């Protein structure tokens, strides 16, 4: 009797291996990609609140992974920022006001987008092409964060945009020629983006019709403990070997000084409170991350709160970052039962150096017609 022509076992095994390999490397189908998107449970709630007899939009974004962000179209403000701790407890880690209407005063610049020029300009004066400009002064004799009516007190047009793996809010504002003393009409866009993997991305862009200066940033106060304690036990790392010393009015002297051997050295993790007593008034200084704005994202800082396990990394393409230890918080504001006393929050503000328009050796904040200003900031949140 003739034996059946059986398929060799070795070939069967080979075909199974080839089949498994092909399935592992095959591209994702549209159906698979759609299923992945469905697993990302984005939620958005948009409402309106009254501020200064006008309506501002409030965007409440949740990425389904424990992170929530609340944004105001007034001031380009991040009013709440909730992230989980190592045990999965979600708490707000950003200082803000309980009533949105109170952001009209916002003397601390809580959570605000600040501009046209973040930080200080000495006596509010600068020159461009031989012409002198006098800006509004609101910090003693100096100009601070765009003046008394800076971007933190402006109404932005705003819209929500949802992508496959992130949620975006785009805000726009046109600052007219001469506002707060600045030359040129400045068309500004801020894009906030919350990703599914707990990153908050901010991009500022601006264009002008006259030579001007621009320095936009986010002035958020962070407290990774969820305001359960002040920030003095937070561990901070700063990727900078130089800083800009300041005079008594917090205007840089023009020197780029080494941090080595000083209480300003955070190149290795240090608690904020370890040497703060050696810094008169506390930390409110610009750190030199690079010599110019080169458009490349750089890891500037890491903030860690051991008790909660919360961990934040800061990236930006700006040349400097201002580290401010909440020295002027005075206990006059209480939000959600938490009193904002001295050092209850701290700021990390990526930026051009303070008073750059008056220091030729500092990276230039000049913007000319036909050019596009762009500043990217990224906050990456996690636990360890």
User: Which residues are known to be catalytic?
Assistant: 219, 349
For the record, the structure tokens of 356 come out as: 């750059």
The residues near 79 (Cβ < 8 Å, ≥ 6 apart) are 58, 70, 71, 72, 94, 96, 97, 100, 103, 111
Where do the DSSP E strands lie in 176-308?
A: 186-195, 199-208, 212-213, 217-219, 221-222, 235-238, 242-244, 257-258, 270-271, 284-288, 298-304
Local structure of 30: helix, strand or coil = helix
Q: How far apart are CA 43 and CA 227, in angstroms?
A: 25
Strand, helix or coil for residue 278: helix
For the chain, state the CA radius of gyration. 25
Interacting residues of 178 by C-beta distance below 8 A, sequence separation 6+: none
Check if the beta carbon of residue 119 is closer than 8 Å to that of residue 354. Answer: yes
Q: How far is CA 189 from CA 147, 243, 261, in A?
A: 19, 30, 41
d(CA 367, CA 281): 34
Three-point CA angle 78, 115, 44, nearest 5°: 25
Which of 233, 232, 231, 227 is closest to 334 using CA atoms?
A: 227
- DSSP calls for 150-190: SGGG-BPEEEEEE-SSEEEEEEEEEEPTTGGG--S-EEEEE
Give bridge partners of residue 301 from the DSSP assignment. Answer: 238, 314
Residues ≥6 apart with Cβ < 8 Å to 354: 119, 120, 121, 244, 246, 250, 251, 252, 286, 322
Tally of helices (H runs) and strands (E runs) in the chain? 2, 30
């Amino acid at each position: 009797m003739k034996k059946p022509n059986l398929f060799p076992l070795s070939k069967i095994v080979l075909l199974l291996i080839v089949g498994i390999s092909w399935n592992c490397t095959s591209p994702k189908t549209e159906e698979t990609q759609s299923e992945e998107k469905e697993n990302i449970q984005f939620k958005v709630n948009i409402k309106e609140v009254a501020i200064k007899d006008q309506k501002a939009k409030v965007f409440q974004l949740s990425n389904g992974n424990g992170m929530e962000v609340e944004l105001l179209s007034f001031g380009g403000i991040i009013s709440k920022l909730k992230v989980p701790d190592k045990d999965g407890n979600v708490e707000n880690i950003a200082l803000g006001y309980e009533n949105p209407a109170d952001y009209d005063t916002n003397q601390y610049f809580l959570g605000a987008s600040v501009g046209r020029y973040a930080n200080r300009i000495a006596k509010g004066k600068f020159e461009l092409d031989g012409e002198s400009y006098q800006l509004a002064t609101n910090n003693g004799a100096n100009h601070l964060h765009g003046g008394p009516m800076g971007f933190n007190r402006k109404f932005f047009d705003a819209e929500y945009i949802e992508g496959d793996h992130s949620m975006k809010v785009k805000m726009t504002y046109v600052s007219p020629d001469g506002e707060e003393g600045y030359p040129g009409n400045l068309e500004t866009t801020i894009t906030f983006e919350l990703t599914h993997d707990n990153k908050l991305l901010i991009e500022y862009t601006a264009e002008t019709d006259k030579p001007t200066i621009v320095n936009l940033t986010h002035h958020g106060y962070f407290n990774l403990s969820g305001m359960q304690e002040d920030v003095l036990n937070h561990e901070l790392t700063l990727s900078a070997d130089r800083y800009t010393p300041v005079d008594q009015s917090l205007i840089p002297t023009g020197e780029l000084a080494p941090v080595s051997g000083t209480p300003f050295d955070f190149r290795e993790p240090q608690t904020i409170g370890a040497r703060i007593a050696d810094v008169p008034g506390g930390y409110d200084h610009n750190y030199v991350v690079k010599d110019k704005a080169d458009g490349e994202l750089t890891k500037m800082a890491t903030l860690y709160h051991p008790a909660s396990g919360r961990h934040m990394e800061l990236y930006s393409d700006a040349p400097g970052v201002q580290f401010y230890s909440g020295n002027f918080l005075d206990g006059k504001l209480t939000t959600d039962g938490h009193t904002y006393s001295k050092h209850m929050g701290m700021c990390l503000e990526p930026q051009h150096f303070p008073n750059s328009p008056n220091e030729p050796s500092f990276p230039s904040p000049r913007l000319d017609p036909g050019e596009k200003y762009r500043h990217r900031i990224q906050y990456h949140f996690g636990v360890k």
